[in-house]
Homo-oligomer: A and B are copies of this chain.
Amino acid sequence: MPTVSKVLNGRSDVSRATRAKVERLLDAHGYRRRAQQSSRSPLIEIVFHELESVWAMELIRGVENVAKENRATVVLTESGTRHTPAPEWLPGVLQRRPLGVVLVFSTLPGDIKAQLRAAAIPFVVIDPAGDPDPDVPSVGSANWAGGLAATRHLTDLGHERVAIITGPGDMMCSLARLDGYRSAMAMAGLEADPRLMRFGDFHVQSGFEHAMDLLDGPDRPTAVFAGSDLQALGVLEAARVRGLRVPEDLSVVGYDDVPLAQWSSPPLTTVHQPLRHMAEEASRMLLRPDAPDTPGTAAQRIELATHLVVRQSTARFERA
């Protein structure tokens, strides 16, 4: 026993042969220093509720970029609802002990926050919904300014009948974009017609259905701010079905600037939401020595700028 103790303590008064014998014995029985565990390849974890989303890939790429710079590996989990991860996710992450966790959710239940903090696993929320938990570090983008820029572009082109199809009424980002639209209309001295304001669900079909309705009738809008690129694709299809050319007969603006926005026919004018950059920012926050969710530091909120990208789906309004 004293010999083993000496070996384990790294003392020099043990013969090389004895040390080797003890080490072989431990090794043969499957023992190794726990310290080695921490040398296993570091992980950065990203958790979504929905991989379907056209956003998801942009966010994954952002995390992967920062992981690569830091020789870390990305772990991906799909869990829970739009609002919060499922409770089953927690034991796994506590066992994996990643460098940090990027969560694509608006709110985190108290016990998830408490347990990640107790395990000293930093976390940051990417919150495209724009409704951050004040208690949690988060990265978002400027939704009101995006709604304003999209609508001003259309009023600057001379459009007066401008419709908006925003997102769900229970998401802050939808309301912020709608308020940006209202302000731009007011700044242009135009009245916002309530019949031209619609709540969608950010998917193609809801853009299509609202646009089919909006484009039916003599007093139709000459421009639609679609609130997401997917909704804008639905508006393009409704225009085709109604026999309207884009942009000659109808201008369309999207939101997000996901890759497919440049592949549509015509390519979409849209508001760039810097999703990849948001994920990079979130990942970098995790890896800083003063990671924002280290106990004792204040929660941070970063909001990145949005900007308009003008392509070919918008044109000057020409009175017929």
Q: What is the interface of chain A, defined by CB distance below 8 A to chain B? A: 1, 3-5, 8-9, 21-22, 25-26, 28-35, 37, 39-41, 43, 51-52, 54, 56-57, 60-61, 64, 68, 73-78, 91-92, 95-96, 204, 230, 233-234, 236-237, 239-240, 259-260, 262-267
Contacts and interface: CB of A to CB of B under 8 A. Distances in A.
Report whether over half of chain A's contact residues are helix, strand or loop; otherwise say mixed. Answer: helix
A52 B58 CA distance: 9
B8 A233 contact: no
Given A30-B34, A74-B77, A76-B64, A264 B266 contact: no
A134 to B, nearest CB: 30
A239 to B, nearest CB: 8
Contacts of A236: 265
A4 B265 CA distance: 75
Given A5-B25, A64-B51, A92-B41, A233 B75 contact: no
Contacts of A51: 57, 60-61, 64
B74 A75 contact: yes
Contacts of A259: 52, 54
A90 to B, nearest CB: 11
A33 B30 contact: yes
A50 to B, nearest CB: 10
A93 B76 CA distance: 16
A1 B262 CA distance: 72
A34 B31 CA distance: 6
Nearest to A245: B240
A163 to B, nearest CB: 18
A30 B26 contact: no
16 contacts: A1-B21, A8-B28, A8-B31, A29-B33, A30-B33, A31-B32, A31-B33, A40-B95, A51-B57, A51-B64, A75-B75, A204-B263, A233-B265, A237-B265, A239-B265, A264-B264
A96 B21 CA distance: 29
A56 to B, nearest CB: 7
A64 B78 CA distance: 8
A233 B264 contact: yes
B25 A1 contact: yes
Nearest to A92: B41
A21 B31 CA distance: 16
Given A32-B32, A40-B95, 7 more contacts: A1-B21, A1-B22, A8-B29, A9-B29, A31-B32, A73-B75, A234-B263
A233 to B, nearest CB: 5
A91 B96 CA distance: 18
Contact of A265 (B74, B91, B230, B265): B265
